[in-house]
Amino acid sequence: MKTTLTHRFHDSIELEYQGQTLFRYVYEPKIAPVESPRPYFHPLKTLAGNEVSIFRPYDHFWHVGLSMTSANLSGENFWGGPTYVRDRGYVQLDNNGRMQHRDWQEVYCNDVVRCVEHLAWITHDGETWIDEERRIIVSEIDPAGMHWSLDLSFNLTNVAQRPLIFGSPTTEGRPAAGYGNLFWRGPRSFLHGKILAAEGAEGPEVMGKASPWLAFTGRHGGADSHPLKHHRQM
């Protein structure tokens, strides 16, 4: 692969293929505490150079490209912004945590790109609840097929000395809002795209179902392309 990985210390790593940025991963973001600061990928681009992520849109400024999140972890908000509270709706609480970069255990770029990061999930009050090992791997860039793959894995260890429960607005009473964990905010031109899952499931019927994979296909504004996003269940 004709790849270059640039490490800007205390800021980000950026992957380029033949001079074209594929992603920038900001691991020490300059984000307000109310937005639940966490590492994120932005921009994310196709091999054709089309950007397929959005950063801090005006309607949800805590949405930051592609990131690991949790809308409700035992009452703590690692998603950003207000928290959905049963019978009250969305309320801005003093519960916005953060995911803090600790160190890089590996940053490698040759025939594959492999980065291993150590992070801590820290609550609003400063308690560390989760230690995380995050792996970022790019092993396939196919210029003939005009696609490339980004493989992510997250190994979470509870260090809170008590059970932690991953919830969502749905577990607090809001229907069809079970969002959280790996979160991607795509460009507005992807509105009305197609959601696909295993066994022929598609569209709204995918909500709330387990699937070994999930794909989204959409058309980038001004370009005849159909980027896909897959999430493989581990």
Whether the per-residue pLDDT at 234 is higher than 50: the answer is no
What integer best gives the mean pLDDT of the chain? 93
Residue recorded with tokens 């970069």: 101
Between CA 182 and CA 193 the distance in angstroms is 19
In percent, the amount of the chain with pLDDT more than 70 equals 94
**Tens-digit pLDDT profile for residues 158-175:** 999 999 999 999 999 999
Q: Which range has highest mean pLDDT (36-45, 141-150, 202-211)? A: 36-45
Q: Flag whether pLDDT at 224 surpasses 60.
A: no
pLDDT (0 to 100) of residue 188: 86
Confidence of residue 231 (pLDDT cuts 50, 70, 90): low
| Domain assignments of the chain as residue spans, ordered by start | 3-186, 191-234
Is the pTM above the cut of 0.85? yes
Which region among 27-36, 118-127, 196-205 has the lowest average model confidence (pLDDT)? 196-205
What's the CA gap between 74 and 145, in Å, rounded?
43
Q: What is the mean pLDDT of residues 4-15?
A: 98
What are the pLDDT digits (tens) for 46-87? 999 999 999 999 989 999 999 999 999 999 999 999 999 999
Site of tokens 């387990």: 210
Cα 39 to its chain centre, rounded Å, is 8
Q: What is the pLDDT of residues 76-124, one digit of tens each?
A: 999 999 999 999 999 999 999 999 999 999 999 998 999 999 999 999 9
Cβ contact 16:30 at 8 Å:
no
